[in-house]
Amino acid sequence: MAYFYSLTIKISCMKIKLTIPFLLLIGLTISANVIAQKLNSKEQKILKQVELNNNAAIQFLEQTVNVNSGTMNLDGVREVGRLFDEKFKSIGFETSWIEMPTEMKRAGHLFAEHKGSKGKRLLLIGHLDTVYEKDSPFQKFEREGDKATGPGVEDMKGGDVIIYYALKSLYEAGVLKDTQIIVALHGDEEESGKPISVSRKDIIDAGKRSDIALGYEASSGFNEATLARRGSSGWELKVTGKRAHSAGIFSEEDGAGAIFEVSRILNEWYNALSNEKYLTFNPGIISGGTFAEYDKNKASATAFGKTNVIPQTVVVAGGLRFISEEQKTMARKTMAEIAANNLPQTSAEFTYWDSYPAMAPTKGNEEVMEVLSQVSQDMGHPAVVAYDPMKRGAADISFVAAYTDGLDGLGSMGGGGHTPQEWVDLSTFEDLTKRTALLIYRLTR
């Protein structure tokens, strides 16, 4: 029962006849009207402001990308912070530069706060630093049509600029009044200052007085958002055997040696835990023999041993990624139990430490995603679904996941992060800014 409507389009000297289903044409007209109806007049005003600001936003992106801010270029990170500081002040935010202790060798962070009590209290998260240091050959913003390349253009000056221009458009539309919003732009996301308890103290404090955290790391598409990120942690396994002539191996007196024992442990870990969903652990380096040493700071190891001597020492170092604190604890417990069940004349010492916590896929995060999904659909984009946490690394939003609901992956769209081909799709920039402006607007009503 299709009705067809014929269109003849003239392109230069060619005549092309297109046959389009008539119902589809009606459908397009109706859906355009529905989009307009789904946004109230305030929301339409906000979108208009974003449109008016879009050229300035892309110019500001170019300006910030052209200032080198490799994590170790402290002056460069501070300069990018200063550029954003001016901007946030101009729209009614109180700003502060948070210094890190000198021995940490990090630039510090920019925090900006808008005080109020309307709707949800928000925490917007970005970072000022990039992985490209001063000596990198990749230094300049370059634009070709809708594609712009440059250091940090996607990870994540693009996201920072989206945060600012969304807020600026809300300010200009007169709807920012009395909202409670903290913007946290770290100066050391790519290589966080240690100890983490110091370098992430301020964001944790901000998280404790916020309801919802929104992360502006790169977006994977209008139809996806990150509502879970795995945490990361480290571990070390040190196995000791009895140093003796190899002829005695397997005997009660000389035992199995450290290398057989470490093989048993690693193999049993693999069998016990490798099918656990979202859990991964990787023995990254191993060294064993009569003597073995591992230098964590240099990420290198040395060993000495002979084929006719039962090995006395093995050191293994690795990482472990997990989706929740419960999973991390379970995995460590299992690993410790296996490591304690030693072969004859051997012993093992299993130690571990925390790095990034996990952002677990909670009900609260899903609810924020539903608000985003509604905004997206009201703008004519598809519904938003959860991005696979296996595909994302750890990020700063994880530090506040215990205190807030949250979503990440709301930043700019592009690719090639951490490579000299990093790029951003400028044709999506305006819509991503609009989406964030509407999301903030609806969450703060």
Least Å distance, CB 188 to Zn ion, is 11
**Residue 152 backbone zone (phi > 0: left; psi -120 to 50: alpha; other: beta):** left
CB nearer Zn ion, residue 160 or residue 261: 160
CB nearer Zn ion, residue 43 or residue 202: 202
Least Å distance, CB 218 to Zn ion, is 7
CB nearer Zn ion, residue 202 or residue 217: 217
Least Å distance, CB 216 to Zn ion, is 9
CB nearer Zn ion, residue 211 or residue 217: 217
Least Å distance, CB 256 to Zn ion, is 46
Closest to 262 (Cα-Cα) out of 351, 330, 346: 346
Least Å distance, CB 406 to Zn ion, is 16
Largest CA distance in the chain: 94
In which element (H, E) is residue 125 found? Answer: strand 118-127
Q: Are strands 14-21 and 4-11 parallel, antiparallel or unpaired?
A: antiparallel
CB nearer Zn ion, residue 155 or residue 202: 155
DSSP letter at 323? S
CB nearer Zn ion, residue 21 or residue 393: 393
What is the length of the chain? 445
Beta strands in 271-362 (DSSP E): 280-289, 291-295, 300-304, 313-322, 347-356
CB nearer Zn ion, residue 62 or residue 155: 155
- How far is it, in rounded angstroms, from Cα 75 to Cα 107? 7
Least Å distance, CB 93 to Zn ion, is 22
Beta strands in 220-279 (DSSP E): 224-225, 231-240
- How far is it, in rounded angstroms, from Cα 394 to Cα 126? 14
Least Å distance, CB 4 to Zn ion, is 50
Binding residues (CB under 5 A) for Zn ion: these are 155-156, 217
Closest to 206 (Cα-Cα) out of 397, 371, 2, 48: 397
Residue 175: Cβ within 10 Å count? 21
In which element (H, E) is residue 69 found? Answer: none
Least Å distance, CB 217 to Zn ion, is 5
- How far is it, in rounded angstroms, from Cα 42 to Cα 50? 13
CB nearer Zn ion, residue 46 or residue 131: 131
CB nearer Zn ion, residue 43 or residue 155: 155
Closest to 173 (Cα-Cα) out of 183, 161, 165: 165
Answer whether 347's CB lies under 8 Å from 386's CB.
Answer: no
Contacts of 370 (CB under 8 A, 6+ apart): none
Least Å distance, CB 189 to Zn ion, is 5
For the CA atoms of 31, 34, 39, 44, what is the dihedral angle to 10 degrees?
60
